[in-house]
Every structure is written in structure tokens, then in C-alpha cells.
Amino acid sequence: MRILVLGGDGYLGWPTALHLSRRGHDVGVVDNFVRRQYDFEMGVDSLVPIVHLQQRVRVWEQVSGLAVTPFVGDLTDPAFVSRIITEFDPEAVVHFAEQRSAPYSMIDRAHCVYTQVNNVVGTLNVLYAIAEHNPAIHLVKLGTMGEYGTPNIDIEEGFIEITHKGRTDVLPYPKQPGSFYHLSKVHDSHNIQFACRIWGLRATDLNQGVVYGQETDETTMHRDLATRFDYDGVFGTVLNRFCVQAVIGHPLTVYGKGGQTRGMLDIRDTVACVELALLHPAAEGEFRVFNQFTESFSVKQMADMVAECYPGAVRIEHMEDPRVEKEEHYYRAAHTKLLDLGLVPHLLEASTIRSLLAVVDRHRDRVDPVAIAPTVQWRKTASAVRASAAMPGA
Amino acid sequence: MRILVLGGDGYLGWPTALHLSRRGHDVGVVDNFVRRQYDFEMGVDSLVPIVHLQQRVRVWEQVSGLAVTPFVGDLTDPAFVSRIITEFDPEAVVHFAEQRSAPYSMIDRAHCVYTQVNNVVGTLNVLYAIAEHNPAIHLVKLGTMGEYGTPNIDIEEGFIEITHKGRTDVLPYPKQPGSFYHLSKVHDSHNIQFACRIWGLRATDLNQGVVYGQETDETTMHRDLATRFDYDGVFGTVLNRFCVQAVIGHPLTVYGKGGQTRGMLDIRDTVACVELALLHPAAEGEFRVFNQFTESFSVKQMADMVAECYPGAVRIEHMEDPRVEKEEHYYRAAHTKLLDLGLVPHLLEASTIRSLLAVVDRHRDRVDPVAIAPTVQWRKTASAVRASAAMPGA
């Protein structure tokens, strides 16, 4: 299958591109490197060193004998999007190319507007390019479980049957996202569903949980194929951050009570899920939603697991939650559709955490401890936040 | 009350500003005149001539002895938004300042992106300016009944109690908007609700039906206080368009079967509803939704009513629906909250239609018959549409 991976230089986009390439697909990757740019802005770095996209692609060809075609450009540029869709002529587009940090979107007005415009306009341009070039192209779009928030009823996969005053309909599941970033994904979902309805497009919205891990079967084939590993207060995700804190002897910082429960998955399941969605495309005009995670854990549970697995002493510390979120809540979310397609999950076991701790240990000299603390406060908006954001860890 | 009316030069913004001024409020109006710019782009005009904002404001002061303060600028400019909120220091902001035509948003990619960026970023800038200057400011935001689409269950006012697998929660009502414009309002609603949650803002989302009429108690006080009247295929709303067609002897053009049912209201009720919302503000942190319409009619019913009221012969013609929408469907929507606050509706009676026909008759020499036909097709995306949009009525 000819597959274009948008955001193919990122944390998950790159491993997905390699996985699809090794599975025999003809892969193009598209990126504008803003993710690397955010590192300069924030003064932080991936824990694991990563090489340039052009070098990654060369090494992949040497190691695997397989070609991956890179395209450099910005999805908010409609001429660029139209050109790559026409030139590469894909059967499917996998869309990772969005600003994906909740704290980054909450830094201040400018970062909020940037996140929503970048994500929403990029996706609109992709929808138009597909509709105009070839409406049969299957769009596999990365959404997030965070679109749903934490309702007091079970979360379903995208839609819910509602019986109300004696009548029944199946409607889009109500969304209660928790940041301007999560909101941008909700906006995307609505836009994509509408495009499927009016133009007959085919789309799969992968509402993904929080991903942990850094290694896949492909990225470990050569040092230069490594993907990034973020542990900082803005782009780092919780389990990765706890592992870094354990290794450098920093207390594991749990925001609030730690009862915040989220769907999680192993990076190896991300790449598998994307291929499963591609191999079983949506029908013409269909907008479908898969909840892409394998297990749910609370933040406190994850801290406890890391503390148990780490050979040394680990302290767990609760700090004021910088976000506005329920610290204890009901959480039960359906995630059967990808299992039905054949997903065999890598569940979170002690061995997974130990291998993650080993990755961190290999690069422990690169850890910047001041980068870990959260610098963005949901409840504040103004200049105070801008000042601290300009100096992460200040 | 000190009230800033954003989009105060538009079809509804201007009559609302006058109404609030006459009711004793201290009113500022903000506009960037893009609505007048769209006329140049489309080659159409308001049926009723309108004078410049500066002149309107002068005439209002002569006629009423009341001052209205104009501010000229663009809400997508954050420095401007911050300046007007700080300078005028309002207790409430009424926000009409969005691109409000569904067909305009569907012309092509550029108009879609323009509509969503203009509307979403403008509103985000307003939210940030309020949060930073004075979170107690009550935001009264114009949404649309079109956010809900046409579900097979009753539409409630913004939220719905859902019982699912034995558990219950009150969640945002699922949205199924029918154009990129309607989608922009859905995005706004989600963003505003979140801002109320994290910053404790107060907001009322007025999900307004289709407005008809052109005259209010204030706009009829002087010829130069008239508000615009649109009948063209892009900005004209259905009842106004039918009246123009009747007067010039054109068949009333019903899209599809005409079973499309929508909530409607008289322009005099719009200005009354906005004041009711202002006089009974949302609580701190509250995001509330009022469905702002008074009656529901199908398109066919409206055509029949106009045909009955017009003294001459009127033919009704069905044409292919340029939109993607259900031509027959269930429709029942709650609209009790504004009635509870004291709204006394002007229902659609023969006399209303006759006075609308009289307005059209006074300006019948200004009607451009080629402007009436729909030029924008929901199902098409590409260059064919762009060509016809550049020449409305072609």
C-alpha cells in the first residue's frame, strides 16, 4: 500500500513509518520539523539523541534495503499539501502532524492560537487535498482519548446510542476535552466527520491513549533509527517522566491526588494499531473512531509500578496539580475495535518498565533535572506564565 | 450596564447596539467591516441601503440623544482586542463578530479556512482578553441552532442527561453541524466552555435560529439607522429571500423537498433576547446555552406562507438541494430558557410577512435577480465551484 505518514519525523510518526516500510508498504514521510523547533524554544532535548530525517532515511535504506521518501513542508501551506498528495498519490494518509502537547497549548494566548490554527488548518488542508485528488484515499488520523474527558458514564468508541424522551439515535459521543490542544483534536474530529458526510471520504480517527516506551523492532536495528524520548514538563508523558525521575534520584512527582486515570499503550502497539487500521480501511463516506489504548492506569498506580521496578530507592511526592482536572473520577472506556481487528497488546509489565529504565540509564548524563518540573498552569493566563514559559524550569 | 457589541455594524449587531443603547446601557460597537467587504467580493448589496458606521452613530445621537462609541479593528488582532476590553472596560461583551454564512464557508478551501480561523481565533482572543482584564465580564456569544443538526431525538438547550449502562451524567449535547461555518460555532462552544471551566469566566451561548425581518423599534427611527437586508444565495436567509422572489415575480425556490425544519425568530426578538441574557448573567464559571428561537417551520411551510400573503400570483419551485442535509426529518427543540426570563415572542404572522414584503417593495429597483440563485454546492470542492463563486449568479 502507498502510505504517506504526516509528521513522520516525530516520536510516533517515525517508528510508524519504519514499521509500515518493513511490513512491505511504500512509505513517504512528511514533516516540517516544528517538533525539533519546540526543543529550541523550550531549551530542552530528547533524552535519546536523534539524527536528522535525511540521515535516518539513509540509514534505514542501508539497514533494511527499503526506501522511505521524505517530503519537507508545512501542512498549513495548501499548495504543499496538494503537491504531496498529487505527487505521492497515496492510497492512505496517516496523520500525526499536529502540535501534541497539552501544556504547550496552555502556555499563553499565542501558543493556544498557534496550536488550534496549526492543527485545524493542517487537517482541513489534508481533507481538501484528498477530496480534490482522490476521495478514495483512507485518512487515518491521530486523535486522543483526552477528547472525551472524564464523564461519569462509560466512554464508547466515538458514538453513543441515546434514548431520550422515548426516541433513540446514535450520536457523536459528547466531548469534554481538558486543554486547548485536546480541543483542537475535538475540532478536527468534527471537521473530518463532516468531510466524510459531504464528500464521501473514508476516515479513521484513532483516539489514542498516553503512549509509553521508546523502542520498536525497527528503531532498535540501528542507533541512528532511534526515536525521541521526552521527559520535560511540557512534552514529556507521565510514565517516561517517572522513569527519568527514578533514575536520577528525583522524587516521582504526582500531580494532585494521582487518581487521574487514563488509557495507556506501548509504543509497539501504536505502530501495530495504525497498520491494522490501514489494512481494514473505512468504507466510502464512513467516519469511524477506534479507541487506541490497551489498559487504564491512574497516575498514582504508575508511580507505584515504577517505584517497585526500580532497583534503588524511590520517593513519591504529591504536588499541586497544574491542570484543571478531576483528581478522582469514574473511568471506563471501550477499546474493542482494534482488538477485533487482531491487535495483540503488549501489556505494561515489570519487564517493560525495566527496559524503559535501561534506556534512561544509558542516557542519564543527558538529563536536565530543571526541565522536569511543570511550568504551565491551567488556571493562569497572563504575563506571569509567559515569563516562566520562556524559561522552562525557572 | 457597559456593553461592548462585537460585530456591531452587522445585520443583527447594529440593531442590538441601538436597542441596548435606548434601553439605557452604555454601548460600544466594534467592527472591521468584513461583512461589507464580502459584498464587494460577491458583487452583491444589501437590499436596503445602509450608511457608514460613523454616520449611523452620528444620526443615532441626533435622534436619541444617546452616544454609542465605535471601535474599528479586527478580533484576530490580539493587541486590538486587549486594547478595547481594557479601554472600554465593559461589564458584558456581546459577540456577533463572526463570518456567519454557511454557503460562504463552503465556497472552497480558502473560504473554509478563513471562516474557521476568523471565528475561532477571534473568540479565543476575546476569551483571553476577558480572562486577563476582568474575568467577571459576562460574554454573550452568538451560536446557532445549526450546531445541533437534525438528530432523531429532542434537542435540548446545550446539555443532555444521558443514562448509559446504569450510570448517569449531564453532558454537552452532541453536535452534528452542517457546514464549515456551523462547525466553527461548535469549535467556539467547546473553547468557551473550557475557558469558563479553567478561568471561571461567565458565558451565555445563544444558539440562535434563522432570523427574519429587517425593522426594529430603533432602526425605524431614521432612514440612516436601517440595518442590512440580504437576499442573495450566499448571505440571504430563507424567508427574506422568499419575500424578494415574490415581489419580483420569481418562483420561490425551495431546496429539495422543503421538509428541512428550522427554528426561526423575528429580528425584534433577537435584540430582546440579547438584553434578557445580559440582565440575567451567567454565574462565575458557568457556561450556559439558550436556544434562541420562537417557532419551527419547514422551508416548504415558509414558502406557502409567503405565497398566501403576497397579493399577486406566486409560484413555488423545487430545485436540487445544493446542501447535504436531510430533506425530511424529526425536529423538536427546547427553547424555554429565554421564555422563562420573560421573552414575549413576535410570532410569524401574516402581518409580519406583509411588512417584510413592504420593505422589499420599497427597494424592488435594487434587486439583482441573478444574485438569488445558490452558487455554492456542498458536494463539490474544487475549481468548478471557485469559478462560479467568483461570479455569483453565473
pLDDT of residue A375: 86
- Mean of the pLDDT values across residues A216-238? 96
Domains and CATH numbers, chain B: 2-390 (3.40.50.720)
pLDDT greater than 80 at residue B390: no
- Report in angstroms the alpha-carbon separations of A121 from A117, A187, B103, B309: 6, 10, 19, 46
The SS3 of residue B193 is helix
Q: pLDDT per residue over A314-343, tens digit each?
A: 999 999 999 999 999 999 999 999 999 999
Q: What is the pLDDT of residues A74-120, one digit of tens each?
A: 999 999 999 999 999 999 999 999 999 999 999 999 999 999 999 99
Q: Does A334 touch chain B (CB under 8 A)?
A: no
Residue B114 is predicted with a pLDDT of: 98
Query: How confident is residue A380, by pLDDT bands cut at 50, 70 and 90?
Result: confident
Segment B123-161, tens digit of pLDDT: 999 999 999 999 999 999 999 999 999 999 999 999 999
What's the 3-state SS for A322-380? CCCCCCCCCCCECCCHHHHCCCCCCCCCHHHHHHHHHHHHHCHHHCCHHHCCCCCCCCC
Identify whether B185 is a catalytic site residue: yes
- Mean pLDDT, to the nearest integer, of B70-85? 98
pLDDT tens per residue, range B251-277: 999 999 999 999 999 999 999 999 999
Tell me, what's the pLDDT at A252? 96
Q: What is the pTM of this model?
A: 0.96
Give Dmax over CA atoms of chain B in angstroms: 64
Buried residues in A106-122 as b, exposed as e (16+ CB within 10 A): bbbbebbbbbbbbbbbb
Beta-bridge partner residues of B205:
B141, B289
How many pairs of residues across A and B have Cβ atoms under 8 Å apart?
A: 151
Q: Within an 8 Å CB–CB cutoff, is residue B351 touching chain A?
A: no
- pLDDT of B385 higher than 70: no
Mean pLDDT of all residues belonging to chain B:
95
Whether chain B has a CB inside 8 Å of the CB on A79: the answer is: no
> What pLDDT, on the 0 to 100 scale, is given for residue B381?
77
Calculate how close chain A gets to B333, using CA atoms only, in Å: 12
pLDDT band at A383 (very low <50, low <70, confident <90, very high): very low
Give B-chain residues touching A109 at CB under 8 angstroms.
78, 124-125, 128
Question: CA-CA distance, A260 to A292, in Å (whole number)?
Answer: 18
pLDDT of residue B382: 55
Cβ of B154 within 8 Å of Cβ of A167? The answer is: yes
* CB interface of A with B, residues 99-158, below 8 Å: 109-110, 112-113, 116-117, 120-121, 124-125, 128, 131-132, 151-154
- The whole-angstrom distance between residue B233's C-alpha and the CA centroid of its chain comes to 16
Which residues are CB-contacts of B57 (< 8 A; sequence separation ≥ 6)? B29, B67, B68, B70
Write the DSSP string, A10-77. STTHHHHHHHHHHTT-EEEEEE--HHHHHHHHHT---SS----HHHHHHHHHHHHS--EEEEE--TT-
The three three-digit cell numbers of residue B50, written as one number: 445602509
The pairing of strands B26-31 and B2-6 is parallel
Check CB contact of B384 with chain A, cutoff 8 Å. no
Within 10 A of A58 (CB to CB), how many other CB atoms are there? 14
Task: Provide the pLDDT for residue B380.
Answer: 85
∠ CA B271-B177-A192, rounded to 5°: 145
Confidence band, pLDDT 50/70/90 cuts, at residue A387? very low
Nearest chain A CA: its distance from B6 CA (Å): 20
Specify the DSSP element, H or E, that contains A174: none
Q: What is the mean pLDDT of residues B228-233?
A: 95
Of the residues B82, B137, B381, B385, the best mutation for testing chain A's interface (the one with the most A CB atoms within 10 Å of its CB) is: B381
Q: Are the C-beta atoms of residues B219 and B18 closer than 8 Å to each other? A: yes
Grid coordinates belonging to B214: 429587517
What is the average pLDDT across B282-309? 97
Burial environment of residue A340 by CB neighbours within 10 A (0 to 12, 13 to 18, 19 or more): exposed
Please report which helix (H) or strand (E) contains residue A155, including its range. Answer: none
3-class DSSP state of B106: coil
Are B138 and A149 in contact by the 8 Å Cβ rule? The answer is no
B68-72 and B26-31 strand pairing: parallel
User: What percent of chain A lies above the pLDDT cut of 90?
Assistant: 95
Overall average pLDDT of the B6-26 stretch: 98
- Amino acid residing at B249: G
| 3-class DSSP state of B333 | strand
Kindly indicate the confidence band of residue B242, based on its pLDDT and cuts at 50, 70 and 90: very high
Find the catalytic residue in B115, B144, B150, B216. B144
CB nearest to A194's CB, from B164, B183, B197: B183
> Which of the pair, A375 or A320, is modelled with greater confidence?
A320
Question: Position of cell 446504569?
Answer: B166
- Residue B182 to residue A334: CA distance in whole angstroms: 29
Look at residue B112 and tell me whether its pLDDT is greater than 90.
yes
B165 pLDDT more than 70: yes
Asked if the Cβ–Cβ distance from B124 to A116 is below 8 Å, we say yes
Given a cut of 50, whether residue B281 has pLDDT beyond it is yes
Q: What is the pLDDT of residue B37?
A: 97
The verdict on B183 touching A (C-beta cutoff 8 Å) is yes
